[in-house]
């Protein structure tokens, strides 16, 4: 661990000061949400909120609180033009957009189904820029992201960030609340023996996915000739963090049950940010047919298939989809 705080890291960069302000506001939002998650049982905030979001998913009370904190804190950023949230159907415009203004895409509380059983949850975010005055287009592919990251609310609170070059991991220091650089230049190991998928959906999978998982499960007796472990936490943030630290591949593919919806995970504030992080850390991110960040979105809540992680495993899956 170094003495480098998130603030020092950002101020030593060549980033636009307004982007620095926005990233610090995002980190502050995550710090507040971490505290709300930690105290949820005492404050009566666990359990369902009795409402559904735009995707028709049951909202937890903390989903709504987390969204409100992102909106409240990040709206203070003077050059933030709009918010695109998983929990809000319409784009929230904060000002008339000007060239260079920022657009914030976020999933305020990923994996909230884990709250009642005290497992890890997180937040995911990405930032793009307005291209010209009056431009209200928030539907740009992931190659336009200038910043992406996530917070992990686990045994410690982590804030993992890329501003387009390296992937850096900061841990919130208990007592001070400072995010300190503890995981510099995070890289996805090239080889892996772990995969993460919801195996209960096996009957819905397409043949390329079944083939890949069957080969992994066969272990030493199969074509892979080595054992594989399966992991599944129902929290994308937790899965991706594990892949960044020890390798692996995460799959939420299109299948016969979710294909009409386009897949399960949302492109703009789940798949795109994680794809940017994984690619810059040396991994790969694909739908099975195309790189995730090359997709031109058709709506702010568009769903897509997701396969990302160690490059060799993603490339194998892509090759299976092509045969």
109 known ligand binder: yes
* Architecture in CATH for domain 6-183: 2-Layer Sandwich (3.30)
Tens-digit pLDDT profile for residues 199-254:
999 999 999 999 999 999 999 999 999 999 999 999 999 999 999 999 999 999 99
198 known ligand binder: yes
Residue 46, C-beta contacts closer than 8 angstroms, at least 6 positions apart: 40, 60, 61, 62, 115, 116
pTM for this prediction? 0.94
Residues of the chain with CATH 3.30.540.10: 6-183
193 known ligand binder: no
Q: Is the pLDDT of residue 47 over 80?
A: no
CA Rg value for the chain: 19
Q: Is the pLDDT of residue 148 over 80?
A: yes
What is the pLDDT, as a whole number, of residue 55? 61
264 known ligand binder: yes
135 known ligand binder: no
229 known ligand binder: no
What single string gives the DSSP state of each residue in 6-35? HHHHHHTS---HHHHHHHHHHHHHHHHHHH
89 known ligand binder: no
Tens-digit pLDDT profile for residues 59-87:
678 999 999 999 999 999 999 999 999 99
Distance CA(292)–CA(271), nearest Å, equals 7
What is the pLDDT, as a whole number, of residue 42? 80
256 known ligand binder: no
Tens-digit pLDDT profile for residues 6-35:
999 999 999 999 999 999 999 999 999 999
- Contact of 184 with 168, CB cutoff 8 Å: yes
CATH number, span 194-322: 3.40.190.80
Residues of the chain with CATH 3.40.190.80: 194-322
Residue with tokens 């203004």: 101
What is the pLDDT, as a whole number, of residue 191? 82
107 known ligand binder: yes
Tokens representing 156 are 């410690």
Distance CA(115)–CA(99), nearest Å, equals 40
257 known ligand binder: no
Pairing of strands 265-266, 249-252: unpaired
């Amino acid at each position: 661990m170094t003495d480098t705080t998130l603030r020092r890291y950002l101020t030593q960069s060549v980033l636009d000061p307004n982007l620095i302000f926005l990233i610090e506001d995002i980190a502050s939002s995550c710090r507040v949400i971490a505290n709300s998650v930690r105290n949820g049982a005492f404050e009566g905030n666990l359990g369902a909120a009795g409402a559904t979001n735009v995707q028709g998913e049951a909202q937890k009370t903390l989903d709504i609180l987390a969204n409100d904190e992102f909106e409240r804190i990040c709206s203070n950023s003077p050059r933030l033009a709009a918010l695109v949230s998983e929990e809000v159907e319409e784009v929230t415009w904060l000002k008339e957009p000007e060239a260079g203004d920022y657009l914030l895409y976020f999933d305020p509380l990923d994996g909230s189904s884990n709250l009642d059983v005290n497992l890890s949850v997180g937040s995911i975010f990405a930032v793009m820029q307005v291209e010209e005055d009056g431009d209200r287009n928030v539907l740009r592919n992931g190659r336009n992201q200038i910043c992406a990251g996530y917070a992990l609310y686990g045994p410690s609170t982590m804030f993992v960030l890329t501003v387009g070059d390296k992937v850096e991991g900061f841990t919130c220091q208990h007592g001070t609340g400072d995010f300190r650089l503890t995981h510099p230049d995070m890289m996805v190991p090239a080889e892996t023996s772990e995969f993460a998928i919801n195996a209960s959906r096996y009957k819905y999978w397409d043949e390329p996915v079944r083939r890949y998982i069957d080969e992994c499960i066969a272990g030493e007796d199969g074509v892979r000739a080595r054992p594989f472990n399966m992991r599944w936490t129902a929290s994308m943030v937790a899965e991706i963090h594990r892949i960044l630290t020890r390798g692996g591949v995460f799959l939420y593919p299109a299948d016969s049950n979710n294909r009409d919806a386009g897949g399960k995970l949302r492109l703009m504030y789940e798949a795109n940010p994680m794809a940017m992080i994984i690619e810059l850390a040396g991994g790969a991110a694909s739908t099975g047919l195309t790189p995730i960040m090359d997709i031109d979105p058709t709506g702010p809540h568009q769903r897509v298939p997701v396969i990302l992680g160690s490059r060799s495993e993603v490339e194998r899956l892509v090759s299976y989809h092509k045969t």
